[in-house]
Each structure stands twice: as structure tokens, then as C-alpha cells.
Homo-oligomer: A and B are copies of this chain.
Amino acid sequence: MSDLVELLLEGLPPDAVATDPDVTAAYRRDMAGFCDAGAPAVVVHPATVEQVQHVMRTATRLRVPVVPQGARTGLSGAANAVDGCIVLSLTKMDRILDIDPVDRTATVEPGVVNAVLSRAVAAHGLAYPPDPSSWESCTIGGNIGTGSGGLCCVKYGVTAEYVLGLDVVLADGRLLRTGRRTAKGVAGYDLTRLFVGAEGTLGIVVRAVLALRPAPAPQLVLAAEFPSTASACDAVCAVMASGHTPSLMELMDRTTVRAVNAMTRMGLPETTEALLLVAFDTPDPAADLDAVGELCRAAGATEVVPAADAAESDLLLEARRQALPAMERLGTTMIDDVAVPRSRLAEMIDGVAAIADRHGLTIGVCAHAGDGNTHPVVVFDAADPAEAARARESFDAIMALGLELGGTITGEHGVGLLKKEWLARELGPVGLELQRGIRSVFDPLGLLNPGKVV
């Protein structure tokens, strides 16, 4: 037994420490493509804060890198192992410790699955809004690490806005408590927010106080077909400029619509260039959809179909939820995550079409249109090295376009390994230097998720 494993076992039960390469190999990577992954020396599954502290103390003592993991549903390689590391899986720490309807807070361990929390708080008439596509399997710790978004963000915001306070085990094993349980608080620098989106590079989140909201009313969805992405984006801008706050505003381009039809036989309209879904969970959603329907028609929609009820609404949302699985049936996929000001959305989507043409590739775009957050999905044949290279080039071209339009290289998926070089470009040298400085304050030995983010 190695020194590392021996020391780990001093503070962890034997079944929480895995070294069998067949087992550890399963923990090498998340769901990102085009990212390297190393071989972990050991995978640990602590069940308590004290055990996490023991792991970090051990790592510090032996100078072993640590890669924290949740459900490994991430799309940027942030959870990929590095050679010889400890993979620190938080999935066993999955208790919901408290739900408080008066304070509208939930206190949870990091391994709680997003959907489990959502259902638990729903029983109290409350909602935890952030709803990434992987919500049935991704964990709150992973959501915090990557700063996850989802479909609801246009009205309800992203993970960062729901994290009030954290317990964090630092690189050296000390426990830090940040933030608050109160609705407001400005005591010192906002360390809580610093950990959101830090992808495990600043410390290990072992407990989170989350803000909840009253459960919204069921949403009613409208579908609108457009003869061009430009006209669909005009409609998006018109809706936002006229003061509406939809609970969801999603766009699927023709490539995506066809892929969904091919998989699901949903019979979505294939003749349109862009399908826009808009939802409201307001007191009178039908009236709001009427108003938005008018704006869509004025922007050039050829067909506007409001759902009559919740069942029809669910069907339309299901089409959107199947977009990525449907694209994945067409070949190997790489999903990008570029957000632009919503006033630039048309330029972004048309620009992606031009990039697809230029690289001779299929790229389908679905977008959280209300947020200007696009997910171009590049499809390619991984067995064809030239095509794979073109895929990677087009992926990068999409990020370059996003920055050119005043956007960001990542709206909600994070940086990880996949976008590390692009992050440097977005931040510039001054920003990068400060970010590295902050990282050194928290992790002077560079043990936490080395090689990721900055």
C-alpha cells in the first residue's frame, strides 16, 4: 500500500478509498470532449466534513493534487483527473440538512442531486430555480463549482444568485465558513460568490445555504415559427424591450428541429428556420402569451401556436429538452456555450451558420435566447481526424465570434480545461494576473484541481 493510501485510511473507512484501476478509471473524466484526462492514484468518497478535511490535510502533507468531483456531468473538463491525483468525490455527502420556509433557505451537502432538492423543496411550496439540463443527475456541489444555469434563468437567474453561504474545506484542511443565512449581508469581501464557478480550484464546498423562492405557477408555453433566425431574434428583442419577463425563452434552429423530429417523431415544423418557445408563469399567462404572439407576428413569425394547457406546454418543452440528445445521434458532438448581449443574438446565430459552412460541418444551435446564451452543437465524425480538427476549429471560431460581439466564452458551462486558453483571451493580462493571485491566496501549493480555469 502506498504512503498516500495508508495515510488516507487513517481518517477514512476502507470502503471510501478505491485504488483498483478498473474502479478509478471510471472517475477519469466528465462529459466534455476534446479534454485530456489523467489516471487518478486513488478515488475517495468521504461522508463527513471531517473526512474531507483529512483528505486535504493528507494531500497537503504529501503534495498530492486533488480533483473534486460531483456527478461528472460537466461539459468543460473541470472534473477530469490529473495523473496521480486524489479524486475527491462528494456524491456520498448527499443530505438535505434543513429546509426553512420562513427564511426560504435550504442547507445541503454538496452531493445532493439538483432534482432531489427541487422535489424536496416543492413539498414545502418552494422552488430552487437553477435547472441545468442534467438536473436529474447533477449535484448542487457541481452546480456551484461550475455556476450552472438552465432554462429558467431568463426570469430566475443562475446558481450564483441562490448561494447565500458556504462551508468550504481549504487546501490545507482548514474549514472556512463564508456568507450568511440572512437575506442581506455585506460583511467583508464576498468570498461566497468567489467560490461559485471556481470549479473546485479554491476549496472544497462541503455545505451550502441556498436561497429558495415560492414555487411559481405552472407555465404556459407558446411556439412561434420564423422564416429566419434574424426575425426570431428580432422577436426576442421586441419581447424584452417591451417589458415582458418570460419564464423561458428558447430558440432552436432548423438543424436542431430536424434532429429532434428524427429522434422523437414529434412532428415539429421542419420548414421554418427558427422555432421560438416562450413561456410565462404569471397570474395570467394566456394574456401574456397573446401579447408576445403579436410581437412574434410583427417580427415576421409565420405561425404562432400557444399551448392550450399544461400538457401541450410540457410537450413543447420536451422538444427543447431533447435537443441535445437528438443532436448526439447525428455523430460525435461538441457543445459550445457562448453568451452575447441579446441585442447581438441574430449576429451570433447567423455567424455560427457561416462558420458551419466554412468548415463543412453540421452545427445546430439551440439557445437560451432570452439570455443571449447560445449552445451551438458541432457534429463531427470522431474517427476522421481531419473532420475532428475542423470541429475543434469551428468550436474556437464560435468563441472568437462571441467575444467579438461583446459576449463571453461561457454563459453557464464553465472554463475547465476546454476553454482555459480562451479565458486568458477574455480576461486579458491584468485580469488573469489578479485571478492567479487570488488562486494563490487560497491554494499556495497549487494542489486544488491543477491546470484548470486559470
Min distance, Cβ A246 to any Cβ of chain B, angstroms: 11
- Give the size range of A's interface with the partner: 35 or more
Min distance, Cβ A401 to any Cβ of chain B, angstroms: 14
Which residue of the partner chain B has the closest CB to A236?
Answer: B102
Task: Determine the chain B residues whose CB is within 8 A of the CB of A406 once the complex forms.
Answer: 181-182
Min distance, Cβ A249 to any Cβ of chain B, angstroms: 11
- The reply on A54 being an interface residue by CB < 8 A is no
Among B125, B245, B437, the residue within 8 A (CB) of A214 is B245
| Cβ–Cβ contact A342 & B183, under 8 A | yes
Residues of A within 8 A of B (CB): 100-105, 125-126, 146-147, 149, 153-154, 158, 160-161, 170, 174-178, 180-191, 193-194, 196-198, 202, 213-215, 237, 240-241, 243-245, 282-284, 339-343, 368, 370-373, 406-415, 419, 423, 426-428, 430-431, 434-435, 437-442, 453-454
Top 6 closest pairs, chain A to chain B, by CB: A437-B441, A147-B186, A214-B243, A185-B408, A184-B411, A183-B371
Min distance, Cβ A216 to any Cβ of chain B, angstroms: 10
Task: Determine the chain B residues whose CB is within 8 A of the CB of A410 once the complex forms.
Answer: 185-187
> In whole angstroms, how far apart are the Cα atoms of A267 and B100 in the complex?
38
| Cβ–Cβ contact B198 & A373, under 8 A | no
Which residue of the partner chain B has the closest CB to A338?
Answer: B182
Task: Determine the chain B residues whose CB is within 8 A of the CB of A189 once the complex forms.
Answer: 194, 197-198, 202, 435, 438-439, 453-454
Task: Determine the chain B residues whose CB is within 8 A of the CB of A423 once the complex forms.
Answer: 187-188
| Cβ–Cβ contact B190 & A215, under 8 A | no
| Cβ–Cβ contact A237 & B434, under 8 A | no
| Cβ–Cβ contact B187 & A343, under 8 A | no
Q: Give the number of copies in the complex.
A: 2
Most B Cβ at <10 Å: residue of A100, A102, A237: A102
Min distance, Cβ A121 to any Cβ of chain B, angstroms: 12
16 A-B pairs with C-beta separation under 8 A: A102-B241, A103-B341, A103-B342, A103-B343, A146-B186, A161-B161, A183-B370, A183-B372, A186-B414, A187-B408, A187-B426, A188-B427, A189-B197, A189-B202, A189-B435, A214-B245
Q: If A184-B412, A189-B194, A431-B176 touch, does A102 touch B158 (CB 8 Å cutoff)?
A: no
| Cβ–Cβ contact B194 & A339, under 8 A | no
| Cβ–Cβ contact B435 & A186, under 8 A | no
> In whole angstroms, how far apart are the Cα atoms of A318 and B282 in the complex?
30
Q: If A154-B183, A372-B182 touch, does A102 touch B343 (CB 8 Å cutoff)?
A: yes
Min distance, Cβ A193 to any Cβ of chain B, angstroms: 4
> In whole angstroms, how far apart are the Cα atoms of A408 and B442 in the complex?
24
Q: If A189-B197, A240-B102, A341-B103 touch, does A428 touch B177 (CB 8 Å cutoff)?
A: yes
Q: If A431-B176, A435-B191 touch, does A153 touch B186 (CB 8 Å cutoff)?
A: no
